[in-house]
Structure formats: C-alpha cells, structure tokens
Structure 1
Amino acid sequence: MRSFIWILLLLSVTHTAHAQYYLRGEIRNEQGVLLSGVKIKISSKPSLIFHSGGSGSFGIPIPSVKDSIHLSFDGYDPLSIYVDSRQFQLLQMKSSSGTSKLYKNYKSSIVKNFSTGSVINSLGLGESYTGIIENELMKTNTFPETGFSLNIDNASYSNIRRFINNGMMIPQDAVRIEEMLNYFSLPLPPNSLQIEKGFSYAYEHSSCPWNPKHQLLFLQLQAPTIPLHEVPASNLVFLIDVSGSMDKPNRLPLLQSGFRLLINNLRPIDTVSVITYGGGVAMVLAPTGGQHKDLIKKAIDSLSAGGDTPGSGAIQLAYETAKKNFIKGGNNRVILATDGDFNVGQSSEKELEELITRYQMSGIYLTCLGVGMGNYKDSKLETLSKKGNGNFAYIDQIREAEKVLVTEFTKNIFTVANDASITLQFNPETVAAYRLIGFDNKKTALEDSSSTLEGGEIGSGHSIMAIAEIIPAKDSSNSANLPLAEVVLRYKDPLSGNQKEQNFTANYRGQKIKRTDSIYRFAAAVAMFGNILRKSKSTHGFQLEDVALFSKHTVSPNNILQQEFQHLLEKAIQLYNPPKKKRKSD
C-alpha cells in the first residue's frame, strides 16, 4: 500500500514538472490598432523568438503558470511585463516619441538620415518604405549629363489609391512619381518616331504649369511588342504567402481571384507550379501544363491562411523549382504574392537582397505582387523585385488584379529588354539647369556622371514617360530647333545578352503646355500630384485644387484610369484640405 502511495506521489510530481500552460493575448497600440509582427520573447525560453499574428494576437506554450514577456517593435518603446497564463493578456505598446507625434498628425515618419538606403515605418501601423531624396536642380555647365534606370514598376500609384480611398494620409516615401506615370502606360502620339524592332520614341518641350519661369521636357519610349503568335512558352512558379497576416479579404482571397483570372489565359505550352509558405513551406501543385486549368484552379482555391512567414526558405524552393523546369528561350518567372511581412529567416532588406542576388544570373525573373495594409512591407518587395530582375505591382482591388494579370499580362510578364537605362546629355546653350521629376533614388547618378546605372527590365509593348523640369538658358528665346538634350537608350537583349543602343535628340520647341497633346498635359498633372503629396519644395505654391482644375480638361472621357485619377484628386482635396465647418451664429 505504501509503495502504491509513493508511486502516485511520484507521478504527481512528474506531471507538475512537465505541465504546459498556454499564454494567450493580443497587442495593440495607443490608438487601439492591432499590431502584427511584434517580436515576442519569453524569459523561460530565452533562445526562442515569437511574433504576433496578422490580427495582433499570439498564443505561446510556457512551462509555468506565470512568466515574463518582452515585446519589441520598430517605432515603439520596448515593453516587459510579468503575466499570468490563466488570464487573456491585453497588451498595449506605446509609440516612441517621434512615431507617436507623427501618427497623430497622419504623416509619414521622418528619419534623420536621408540616405537612399533608409527604411522607415509609416503611420505607426508597421508599413515600411525606402527613404528617398528628391532630385535637386543641377547646373548644366557643371553636370550636363544624368542617367536613370527604366522599369515597368507601378506599385506606388495603386498604393496611393488605397490610402486615399481609405481616408488616410499618404507616407511621403510611398510616392514614387516615375511609377505613377508608369501606371498609365501613356501611348505615344501619332507623330512619334516608330521603330519596328527597337524602341519607338517621342518627346515634347513646353511651358511648366506650376512655375512660369521653368519649362518641361517630356520623353517617351515604347518597347517593341511581341506578336501573340510569337509569345514564348512560360514556366511560372506561383509563390503565395498563406501566413496569418494574409487572413483578410484584401489579401489572400483577393490574390486567389486574381490568379484565377490569369489561369484562364494559360496555354497548353505553359507550365505552372504552386508553392505556399505560412507555418511552413509546401509544394501545393507540382509543375502542371496550362491545359489543366481546373486542376490549377483547384490548387489555388484550396489555400487558406495561418502560421508565421518563412519567406526566405520559400523563395529558395521557388527558384529551385523554376530551375528544374527551365524553358530555354522561354519566360521563366517566379510570381511572388505577399504583404511582404517575412518574420522568419532572412527578413531584413539586406539579407533578402543577398538571397535574390544569388539567383540573379539564372535567367529567372521575379514579379512581386503586394497586397494588404497595416503591415505592408513596400521596401522589402521593392528590394526583391529590383534584385530579382523583375517588376513590382500593388493590388488593392480585383480590377487591379485583372489589369496586372490579364489586361497588361504581356507587358508585365514577357521581357523584351534587360538592364535598360537612359543617359541624358543636356545642352548648356539651351538649358541652364534641370532636375528629373521622379527617379529620386538615383541621386548618385546626378552627382557622378560617370557612374554605372543598374538598369531595369521592360515588358512587351510597355510605354514609359519621363519628365525633366528645366530652366532655359537666358538667350534661349532664339533657340528654335536647337538641341535641348541628346538621349541615349541602352539595354540588353534578353535572349542573346547582347548590348544594344539607340540614340535620339530632343530639340527646343518651347510651346505653351495648353497647346500640347493631352497625353503630356495629363502626365504633367500626374507629376504635380506626386510632387504635392511628397511636399516637394518645387511646387511653388501649387495646390491640389490647381492640379484638379488643370487635369479636368486633359483626362480622356473614354479612359477609365484617367477618369479615376480625377476622382482621386477630388478625394485627396477633401482629405488634405477639408472644408472648414462654419461656426453657428449666436
């Protein structure tokens, strides 16, 4: 009997020693916003790091009833607290002094170090954007030459649309004017220089609507179009984030709808693989021919969100899958769809950049599709797409998914030029000073005319618009038909790798902006909208109301995207300059 009692006591002690308790709770900021991606450490498990999920919640097994929890998150003061696992924890993190002040005023965070490599969190919601510096006016006598990379990225505009439609101020570094212009893929006017097997070219030179002392130089290039019967076979790897942060209608479900649209346009010669990551990395669909549309859709429809985000390991598997099924002369591409919230493995921009660089020369392109809000990591997706020889789009609605994955599929997916860049040589006789509008992260090119630019990738038939604001030379009034700038386009053929070069000239015209083609007037309105959102010092008092009035007569009544731009302008006016409430009379 005594032996039996001792055995019971021993079992009781053993059970107590190995008992597990579950610590649950949620994390919010002072405004009550749920914070996802907060780093969590437990005193009893010092070697392990946990993170709050997409809804700001967490659940962690601990060995004792009570323990100490330590929280850290960019833009917030660290928090350490002694907690009881028997109670649901409602934790609040306080914004650091700078972040709290900016959140209150609905402005983006300000960083002291304005280097192009700075990454900031915006609105206290966990979103991150790469810090950029506005290009300044450069004197032509000192720096006659500048250069900039060409690409088809347009994520900035649809992201701006998301902020405005949600009634939120736009972080200044979320505004990239060259991407805003890219979004519209403005067609070249009828009098443009058409080149059959190269880039077509057009330019315009006009007055500047926001500064009568300045002028604008518009440059347009259109990539050659691959005829539909010559479009090569595609080897596509869908790399889809199904982590907990994607469990919202504007994330995974939106992407699933978009991919279904893409699948409808696959051909039998195309191959699709589906890889997911969220709580682990999985091959959901092995390489499958495009004729098996129902099978591919079934794999897409089966996805559900949950778990952490081991993005780096998933990227490696996606590239290895693409390599195994590589189509020589075909379109080999990984399509990464995520909010960018990688919280396991290589998660910093530098680590991700190093990872993608390893695959850069493999002939496999990377397209990044960003979704979501609150913890959207624009800076990470921008880094990935640039280092992955690819492009970057932000999807905020199903119509945008259709635009990216169906309507403009060949422009976004089929590359006709690699490492494309422009060099401009301004003429001091006609141009006293100049500045590029947009391309702000290319400041080094302005400071060092001999620097080598890392060019971008251009898709089939894509049209590019670039704008320079110039100060004319004092004696330029008699400069009709004299050169303003020499334009040199350089790129590599995707198949042969051979370097190609095209040379163009932009001559002095100096006509009134109102007399130019509506394409250029609309481009000027888009550029000015971006300048005002970035609080540029070049606006010269120009307001959103002025942009709306100017663009009202430039938007095409038959162009849905341009009409939407006008509506966004009107919403932005209400957001940034709300009408003052009249005081009730006594």
Structure 2
Amino acid sequence: MAKDELDILRKARVPAPSEEARERAVLAALSVFDENFSSRPQGSAAQQRQSSGTRNFWSRIMNHKLLSSSAIASLLVLPVAGYTTFYLLNEQPLGPGLGGGVLSTGAGGEGSAESDGAGEVKRELALESAPRPEPKRQQEAEEPAADMAVSQPAAPIGQLTKHRDMRGADGFNAPRIAASPPPATGVMPPDLMPVPEENRDRLEVFDTNPVKSALESPVSTFSIDVDTASYAFVRSSLKRGVLPQADTVRVEEMVNYFPYDWQGPENAETPFNSTITVMPTPWNDHTKLMHVAIKGYDVAPAENPKSNLVFLVDTSGSMNQPDKLPLLKSAFRLLVERMGADDTISIVAYAGSAGTVLEPTKGSEKAKILAALDKLGAGGSTAGEAGLRQAYRLAEESFVEGGVNRVMLATDGDFNVGQTSDEDLKRLIESKRESGVFLSVFGFGRGNYNDQMMQTIAQNGNGTAAYIDTLAEAEKTLVQEASSTLFPIAKDVKIQVEFNPEAVAEYRLIGYETRALKREDFNNDRVDAGDIGSGHSVTAIYEITPKGSPAQVIDDLRYGEAKTDNAAGIAHADEYAFVKIRYKLPDEDVSKLIETPVTAAEEIASFGQASDDQRFSVAVAAFGQKLRDTDQTAGLDYERIMEIATAARGADPFGYRAEFLQLVRLASALDASKR
C-alpha cells in the first residue's frame, strides 16, 4: 500500500463502537464460558482444544501485513473481535450436558407396529446385556442412531434439570447460547427471547368459574383436589421462557402445591380439621374472601401400614427423552430406597404390549428391584390400557388387608393402542377402584403430554396426579411428601357451601372448575370424589360480595324477594354461609358428615391480620388467576402479588416459596415482553 494511502487512513475518522453490540457479544461469550468451563478444574481433559480451523484463522490474521499499521488495527478491532466470537462459538461445541436423548426412528420409533406381544419387554431387557460395539470412526458417529430402543441409565441428581432438549432442523442437537438474565426493568430483550417449541400437549379445556347470585344459586358443590400437576407444569413452562397456556393453570392445584401449617385433628377418628376465615380481598376493596383450610391427620412413621405398590411404567418410543424415562427411573429409585423391608413392589412395563418386568418383590431386596428398574428401555407404541389391566391384576394378587395398595402410573400419557379414549379409560378405572386399589399418576415430559387423560384416570380411580419435571420435584413428591402421596386417610371428600343471601349477594369459587359436582352428588355415596393423604393440606377460597356492596355485578331480581321465603336467612343473619364436608374412611363405603356455620366470629378486619400461610395461599391464588387472565384480578399486577408473597413467605425450609417468587418475576418479564 502506498504511503499516501496510509496517511489517508491515519487521518480518517474512526467510527465509535456500538456499546449495545459489544455488551451483547460479551454477555453471550460469558454465558457460553460459564456453561462449558466454570465448573471444570484447570487442565481438565474435557476441555476442547483449539481446532485447526481456528489456528489457521488466527495465522492468516497475524501474518497479514496490514497489521503493521496501528490505525488499521484500531479500525478493525471491533469487527475482528465480533467475528472471532462468532467463529469460535460455531467452531467449538457447547460442551457436555446439552445433548438430548437417543434419536430413534423407524421401527423403534413412536407408532411402530409390534408383533409378538409380551416378548417386546424381554427384547428391551435383552438389549442391556448385549455386547457393546467398537467405537465408531468420526464419520460413522455422525450418522443417525440405529432403529432400536436403547436403555438409558438413571440420571444422577442435578443432571436432568440443568438443560432442556433443543434439536436442530435435522433432528440432532443444535448448539445454543443461553439467554442472559432479563434486565432490571423486567423486559426481556427481543433478540434473547426463547423460541417456543412445537406444542402437541393435550389439555382439558375449561372456563373460569363465573360469579353467581346467592339468591338464585345459593349452593356450591365440588370435590376436593390435592393434585399438584398444574403447578409443576406451569413452572416448567415459565422456566422454558414461555407463559403457560390458560388451560394448564388449575388455580387450586397451584395453591395446594405448598405445605401449610393449618390446624389438624387431634386423632385419626376424625381424619381432618377445617379452619374457615373471612378476610378483605387484596385486589378488590368491596369484596371479601372466605378462606377454607383443611388439614389431614398426620400418620406417624411408626404407624405407616404395609405397602403393596405396582410401578406401571410407560416404555413406549415417546418416552425416549432425557426428561421422561431416565428421569422416571431416577424418581422411582428415590421411592424404592425409602420402602420398608416388608413392603412389596412389582413392575409392569408397557409399550406395544404390556409385560411384567418384576413379580411382587419384598422391599428387603432393593438391589433386585433397582436392577429391574435400570434395565427398562424405551421403544414402540403405547398399550396403556393393557398395562393398566396387568398392573391392577398384580396389585389385587398381592393385596394387603389394612395396608396401602396402589398402582403408580408413570407416563407422558400418550396412549395409542387398545382402549385410548378418555371415556373408555374412565370406565376401566371406575370398574377397578371398587377393588380397593388406589391409583397415582405421575406425568413426565413435554411435547405430547396428555394432561387431559391423566386427570381423567386420576379423578376416577381414587387417585392423585403429579407432574415430575425435575429430580427435585420427584424428591418432594416421593420422599418429603411420601406419606401424603401413599397413605390415604379419607376418600371421596366433597365440600358443599350454602351462602346466606341476606349477607352475601354474590360469590365465585376460585379454581376447582374441573372438580365441580351437582348439588345432588353431595349426598350420593356412589359419586367419586378426591382423596386426602396423611398430613395433606387442602385450601379452597371463595370471593364473596356482601349484600349492598358496590362490587355487585348481577342485578337483583324484580320479583326475587316476593317469590322467596327467606325466613331462614333472616334467622341466621349473622352467618355468611354454611359449610358441609362429606367423606369416607379408606376402608368404608358409607360417608360421614361435618357441618360448620361461618359467622362474623370468623371474620378479621384487615388482610394483614391473616396468618402468613393464609396470605401466601391468597398470593398464589392471585398469581394463578393472573396467568389465566381472570377479569376479577385485572387490577392486580405482578408487583403487588410479589409484595404479598414476600411479606408472607414465613418458614420456607425447602425453598418452595422462594422459587414461587422467582416464577412471579419470570411471568412479569415474559408478560411485559409481549406488549
């Protein structure tokens, strides 16, 4: 280059660097560095060496004569740095841990035909003992996996919850840059927003409970719900950077996810105690909340009855993902480790057909049980109905009188062989619940998760439903809350509330839409309802509009007073409502009744006077309604929910409430990014 050309370059005005571009590049580089190398010691053999392409790239730059000019160097420093960052990110993989599950197509994939019935389970188990092939050359290793299901070992704690499975257009794992935390304003930068994945989850569609007139419809009846699946599913969505669909949000399941220190009964003869409080509504100055809290009797560990458990495991092709079968096996390992020596465990697996993997085995033989679990592999279609029949048969054959007899179904819910409709499965489960065998349903995975089916069979089979998205959630459900998960203290628990129109103009039940019952179902012992386990907490919240309140939204009837004999309401003018709870003991078929009037004595003057547990449960209910975009909470923002929950956090030994606060922040940022 001529000297005069260099002089021109020296005098040229260097453009100011883009601060925004620099910050994004630095954040991206730091994020990738932290994800790959922050946990590795110096000199780790796992660290990637610089590739030949990278060395050649730097060699070309360093040998170029233009670098002799300081002016050119200053002019090129930012583009070179940006290009280098991009080049390195694409040249070097993001390290271990980001890989997905086994990629399976063809005969081993979902929907493939199966021909030899129960022999499929044996073939899957045989794969474990097959000799391992020699390592492939690099070119061969890049080809798709073989068309067969491969058993995946149970994942260690922490490994399964760190990354989500993200695949490129060709089906293999695509490298990604972890999004940086949202800025303090709560708005997530558009260029770092995650892209929602294809959603084939099957959900039960339902409308939010409406406001009802206490004069026209004074009675509200519903089954209790101790399921927690909705909260875990909502959490999974938010942590993936997506606001949950409204129909995944069942407010009562979010509220009942948390343990509360409600006052329990003194003995097991009356299996639970109820505490009812009337308080001001934090999102409406002209309404009140009627808070109904139920606490089950907590059975002491020494009193725990013997257990007869059947693990019914979905091993179909759709379970061949890290957050499905591998997580499932790790979760059940936790439960096996805490089982008593006299407990009995069986394992049934189903894919294209169903087969018994482990005959009834005593808890003292843990090594045998764990070995059977570890050998499970995924592949084939989904004969869930056959699996259910086989599991119930084993449970009935090993039935323990006076003990816990339970089938524990673990699946993504994708039934596609045999009886697959919700109605068919409902009839099957209803016919089996008379045997005294209870049912627990544990959902795994995303993408084709059948929440509607799981709710159907759990609600009609004396059962409960939970969603396991992390090993920590498995520990909560199967270890910390094992007593409430496994040991029922009451079944078919129903609540009926009659509101006094002399005191209450309107009311609405917050949540429990899928648990609504007819008024006449309350006294019908043949109608199934929810169950309460040892130490379970159940919370129901009504928003009520006092008579004469400006918050009333339904006009009074012109002829309502003349047509209604309201002498009873006048006689009980100091009562807001009359609450009735009907239940059966686990081994009985005739229900018992508890009745409680709700009077002014149960009312507190300010929301701040409520206990930490009461205020926190209201904050969770408000959050659930906010996610469902309920009209009644339109004026309540995420910041106010955070204030209520933070002030009411109280004792939080396992960090569940702290995690809730994080979810509210995430939802706030995601909601703001939509606007």
TM-score (norm 1): 0.75
SS at match of 2:284: coil
Q: Give per-residue Cα distances to partners, 1:475-528, cap 9 Å, x unaligned.
A: 99xx99932211111011112333211122222215211221111111111111
Asked whether 1:327 is paired with 2:421, we answer no
How has the CA–CA distance of structure 1 residues 140 and 555 changed in structure 2, closer, same or farther, with 3 Å as cutoff? same
The worse-fitting range, judged by mean Cα deviation, of 225-234 and 380-389 is: 225-234
Asked whether 1:248 is paired with 2:342, we answer no
Question: Do 1:239 and 1:275's aligned partners in 2 also have CA atoms closer than 8 Å?
Answer: yes
Q: Equivalent residue for 1:524?
A: 618
How has the CA–CA distance of structure 1 residues 123 and 469 changed in structure 2, closer, same or farther, with 3 Å as cutoff? farther
Asked whether 1:484 is paired with 2:576, we answer yes
SS at match of 1:558: coil
Give distance in 2, aligned partners of 1:562 and 1:358: 39
Question: Do 1:359 and 1:388's aligned partners in 2 also have CA atoms closer than 8 Å?
Answer: yes
Q: Equivalent residue for 2:367?
A: 294
Q: Equivalent residue for 2:496?
A: 423
Give distance in 2, aligned partners of 1:558 and 1:528: 20
User: 1:268-287 maps to which residues of 2 (within 5 A)?
Assistant: 268-287=341-360
Asked whether 1:152 is paired with 2:226, we answer yes
How has the CA–CA distance of structure 1 residues 561 and 511 changed in structure 2, closer, same or farther, with 3 Å as cutoff? same
Give distance in 2, aligned partners of 1:502 and 1:248: 47
Deviation at 1:389, TM superposition (A): 1.0
Q: Which amino acid aligns with 1:487?
A: V
Give distance in 1, aligned partners of 2:512 and 2:301: 32
Asked whether 1:197 is paired with 2:290, we answer no
Deviation at 1:546, TM superposition (A): 2.5
Q: Equivalent residue for 1:181?
A: 255
Asked whether 1:258 is paired with 2:350, we answer no
Asked whether 1:390 is paired with 2:463, we answer yes
Deviation at 1:193, TM superposition (A): 7.4
Q: Equivalent residue for 1:545?
A: 639
Q: Equivalent residue for 1:117?
A: none
The worse-fitting range, judged by mean Cα deviation, of 496-505 and 158-167 is: 496-505
Q: Equivalent residue for 2:482?
A: 409
Q: Equivalent residue for 2:46?
A: none
RMSD of aligned C-alpha atoms?
3.1
SS at match of 1:127: coil
Q: Equivalent residue for 1:566?
A: 661
Q: Which amino acid aligns with 1:489?
A: I
Question: Do 2:112 and 2:381's aligned partners in 1 also have CA atoms closer than 8 Å?
Answer: no
Q: Which amino acid aligns with 1:542?
A: L
Q: Equivalent residue for 1:235?
A: 308
User: 1:23-42 maps to which residues of 2 (within 5 A)?
Assistant: none
Deviation at 1:278, TM superposition (A): 1.9
How has the CA–CA distance of structure 1 residues 141 and 447 changed in structure 2, closer, same or farther, with 3 Å as cutoff? farther
Q: Which amino acid aligns with 1:295?
A: K
Q: Equivalent residue for 1:70?
A: none
Question: Do 1:268 and 1:290's aligned partners in 2 also have CA atoms closer than 8 Å?
Answer: yes
Q: Equivalent residue for 2:245?
A: 171
Q: Which amino acid aligns with 1:227?
A: A
Q: Equivalent residue for 2:181?
A: none
Deviation at 1:228, TM superposition (A): 2.1
User: 1:463-502 maps to which residues of 2 (within 5 A)?
Assistant: 463-474=537-548, 482-502=574-594
Q: Equivalent residue for 2:386?
A: 313
Q: Give per-residue Cα distances to partners, 1:119-158, cap 9 Å, x unaligned.
A: xxx9852101111121111111122211110132111001
Which segments of 5 or more consecutive residues in structure 1 lack a partner in the other structure?
Answer: 1-23, 28-35, 41-55, 61-88, 91-121, 581-586
How has the CA–CA distance of structure 1 residues 566 and 430 changed in structure 2, closer, same or farther, with 3 Å as cutoff? same
SS at match of 2:339: coil
Q: Equivalent residue for 1:457?
A: 531
Deviation at 1:545, TM superposition (A): 2.8
Q: Give per-residue Cα distances to partners, 1:310-337, cap 9 Å, x unaligned.
A: 1111111111111111111111110000
How has the CA–CA distance of structure 1 residues 291 and 443 changed in structure 2, closer, same or farther, with 3 Å as cutoff? closer
Q: Give per-residue Cα distances to partners, 1:13-38, cap 9 Å, x unaligned.
A: xxxxxxxxxxx9979xxxxxxxx968
Deviation at 1:196, TM superposition (A): 5.7
How has the CA–CA distance of structure 1 residues 193 and 211 changed in structure 2, closer, same or farther, with 3 Å as cutoff? farther
Q: Equivalent residue for 2:671?
A: 576
Q: Equivalent residue for 2:62?
A: none
Which segments of 5 or more consecutive residues in structure 2 lack a partner in the other structure?
Answer: 1-102, 114-143, 149-169, 172-195, 551-570
How has the CA–CA distance of structure 1 residues 565 and 480 changed in structure 2, closer, same or farther, with 3 Å as cutoff? farther
Q: Equivalent residue for 1:511?
A: 605
Give distance in 2, aligned partners of 1:466 and 1:259: 31
Greater strand percent: which structure? Answer: 1
Give distance in 2, aligned partners of 1:141 and 1:220: 25
Question: Do 1:556 and 1:563's aligned partners in 2 also have CA atoms closer than 8 Å?
Answer: no
SS at match of 2:285: coil
Q: Equivalent residue for 1:126?
A: 200
TM-score (norm 2): 0.66
Deviation at 1:552, TM superposition (A): 2.1
Q: Which amino acid aligns with 2:662?
A: H
Question: Do 1:237 and 1:274's aligned partners in 2 also have CA atoms closer than 8 Å?
Answer: yes
Q: Percent identity?
A: 36
How has the CA–CA distance of structure 1 residues 256 and 443 changed in structure 2, closer, same or farther, with 3 Å as cutoff? closer
Q: Give per-residue Cα distances to partners, 1:390-427, cap 9 Å, x unaligned.
A: 10000010011011111111101111111111111112
Equivalent pairs counted in the alignment come to 473
Q: Which amino acid aligns with 1:503?
A: E
Question: Do 1:185 and 1:464's aligned partners in 2 also have CA atoms closer than 8 Å?
Answer: no
Deviation at 1:556, TM superposition (A): 2.3
SS at match of 2:505: strand
Give distance in 2, aligned partners of 1:458 and 1:501: 15
How has the CA–CA distance of structure 1 residues 500 and 571 changed in structure 2, closer, same or farther, with 3 Å as cutoff? same
Give distance in 2, aligned partners of 1:38 and 1:327: 37
How has the CA–CA distance of structure 1 residues 214 and 437 changed in structure 2, closer, same or farther, with 3 Å as cutoff? same
How has the CA–CA distance of structure 1 residues 25 and 323 changed in structure 2, closer, same or farther, with 3 Å as cutoff? closer
Q: Which amino acid aligns with 2:472?
A: R
Asked whether 1:534 is paired with 2:607, we answer no
Q: Equivalent residue for 1:53?
A: none
Deviation at 1:448, TM superposition (A): 9.6
Q: Which amino acid aligns with 1:187?
A: D
Deviation at 1:225, TM superposition (A): 2.2
How has the CA–CA distance of structure 1 residues 220 and 487 changed in structure 2, closer, same or farther, with 3 Å as cutoff? same
How has the CA–CA distance of structure 1 residues 447 and 480 changed in structure 2, closer, same or farther, with 3 Å as cutoff? closer
Give distance in 2, aligned partners of 1:363 and 1:438: 29
Deviation at 1:182, TM superposition (A): 1.2
